[in-house]
A and B are shown apart, each in its own frame.
Chain A
Amino acid sequence: MRDVSIIGIGQTPVGEHWDKSLRHLAFDALVAAKRDAGIERADAIYVGNMLSGEISGQAHLGALIADFAGLRGIEAIKVEAACASAAAAFRQAYIGVASGLQNIVIALGVEKMTDDVGSKLTAGLASAADADYEAIHGVSFVALNALIMRRYMHEYRVTHEDFAGFSVNAHANGAGNPNAMFRRPISKEAFIRSGMVADPIGLLDASPMADGAAAAILCPAEQAREFTDNAVRIKASALATDSLSIHDRRDPLWLQAAEDSAKHAYRQAGVGPQDIDFFELHDAFTIMSALSLEAAGFAERGKGTWLTGDGEISLEGKIPITTRGGLKARGHPVGATGLYQIVEAVQQLRGEAGANQVANARLGMTQNIGGSGATIVTHIFERADL
Chain B
Amino acid sequence: MSTTEIARHWRLKAQRYQLVGEVCPHCNGKIFPPRDVCPHCAEEATQPPFRFSGKGEVYSYTTVHNPPEGYEESAPYTVALVKLAEGPLITAQLTDVANSEVEIGMPVEMVTRKLRSYGEEGLIIYGYKFRPQLARI
CB pair B62 A199 closer than 8 Å: yes
Q: How far is the CA of A133 from the CA of B60 in the complex (A)?
A: 16
Q: Which partner residue on chain A sits nearest B8 by CB separation?
A: A132
- Indicate if the CB atoms of B63 and A137 lie closer than 8 Å: no
Whether A247 contacts B115 in the complex (CB less than 8 A), given A134-B91, A143-B64, A151-B104, comes out as no
Known contacts A119-B69, A122-B66, A146-B62; A246 and B93 CB within 8 A of each other: no
- Distance (Å) between the CB of B98 and the closest chain A CB? 13
Q: Is the interface of A mostly helix, strand, loop or mixed?
A: helix
Q: What separation, in Å, do the CA atoms of A335 and B9 have in the docked complex?
A: 29
CA A142 to CA B75, docked complex, whole Å: 14
Tell yes or no: B132 within 8 A of A by CB: no
The answer to the question of B125 belonging to the interface, with a C-beta cut-off of 8 Å to chain A, is yes
* Minimum CB–CB distance for B52 against chain A, Å: 13
Which of A126, A146, A154, A198 is within 8 Å of B68, CB to CB? A126
Kindly list chain B residues whose C-beta atoms are within 8 Å of the C-beta of A245: 91
| Chain B residues with a Cβ closer than 8 Å to the other chain, count | 35
Chain A min CB distance to B68 (Å): 4
- Among candidates B12, B62, B125, B127, residue contacting A143 with C-beta atoms closer than 8 Å: B62
In-complex Cβ contact of A119 among B59, B68, B74, B89 (8 A): B68
Of residues 79 through 120 on chain B, the ones whose CB sits less than 8 Å from some CB of chain A are: 79-81, 88-93, 99, 104, 115-116
Chain B binding surface, main DSSP class? strand
A257 at the interface (CB under 8 A from B): no
Selected from B33, B66, B125, the residue in CB contact (under 8 A) with A133 is: B33
Q: Do A199 and B125 touch across chains, with their CB atoms under 8 A apart?
A: no
The reply to whether the CB of A385 lies closer than 8 angstroms to some CB of chain B is no
For residue B26, CB closer than 8 A to chain A, the reply is no
Instruction: Establish whether residues A140 and B66, one from each chain, have CB atoms under 8 Å apart when the complex forms.
Output: yes
Contact bitstring B38-75, A, C-beta under 8 A = 1, else 0: 01000000000000000000011111111111111010
Known: A137-B92, A137-B93, A147-B60. A122 touches B67 (CB 8 A): yes
Tell me the bound Cα distance from A132 to B33 in angstroms: 10
Contact yes or no, B68 A248, CB < 8 A: no
Most chain-B CB neighbours within 10 Å: which of A139, A146, A154? Answer: A139
For residue A311, which residues in chain B have a CB less than 8 angstroms away from its CB? none
Q: How far is the CB of A252 from chain B (nearest CB, A)?
A: 7
Which chain B residues lie closer than 8 Å to A123 at the CB level? 68-70
Please tell me if A309 contacts chain B, counting CB pairs below 8 Å: no
Q: Which of A235-262 contact B (CB under 8 A)?
A: 243, 245-248, 252
Question: Which residues of chain A from 165 to 215 have any CB-CB distance to chain B below 8 Å in the complex?
Answer: 196-201
| Given A132-B33, A137-B115, A247-B81: A198 in contact with B89 (beta carbons within 8 A) | no
Once the chains bind, are B81 and A119 in contact (CB under 8 Å)? no
Is the CB–CB distance between B89 and A154 below 8 Å? no
Q: Which of A64-91 contact B (CB under 8 A)?
A: none
- Chain A 87-130 near chain B by CB (<8 Å), digits 1 or 0: 00000000000000000000000000000001110110010000
* A147, B67: Cβ atoms closer than 8 Å: no
Inter-subunit contact A119/B72 (CB<8 Å): yes
Q: Is B64's CB under 8 angstroms from A138's CB?
A: yes
Minimum CB–CB distance for B16 against chain A, Å? 8
Looking at the complex, which one of B15, B61, B79 makes contact with A137 (CB distance below 8 Å)?
B79
Q: Are A138 and B66 in contact (CB under 8 A)?
A: no
Q: In the complex, what's the smallest C-beta–C-beta distance from A208 to chain B, in angstroms?
A: 14
Q: Which residues of A contact B39 (CB under 8 A)?
A: 243, 248
A148 contacts B by Cβ under 8 Å: yes
Distance from A163 Cβ to chain B, minimum over Cβ atoms (Å): 15
Contact of A198 among B65, B71, B104 (CB under 8 A): B65
Cβ–Cβ contact B79 & A151, under 8 A: no
Give the chain B neighbours of A246 by CB distance below 8 A. Answer: 81, 89, 91
Task: Report the minimum CB–CB distance from B81 to chain A (whole Å).
Answer: 5
| Contact partners of B69 in chain A: CB under 8 A | 118-120, 122-123
Beyond A151-B104, A154-B104, whether A138 also contacts B116 by CB under 8 A is yes
What are 13 A-B pairs at a CB distance below 8 A? Answer: A119-B70, A122-B67, A123-B70, A136-B115, A140-B68, A147-B60, A147-B91, A151-B60, A154-B104, A200-B62, A201-B62, A247-B90, A252-B59
Residues of B bordering A, CB below 8 Å: 12, 15, 33, 39, 59-72, 74, 77, 79-81, 88-93, 99, 104, 115-116, 125, 127
Which 10 pairs across A and B sit closest by C-beta, in order of nearness? A146-B62, A123-B68, A247-B89, A151-B60, A138-B71, A123-B69, A119-B69, A122-B68, A147-B60, A198-B62
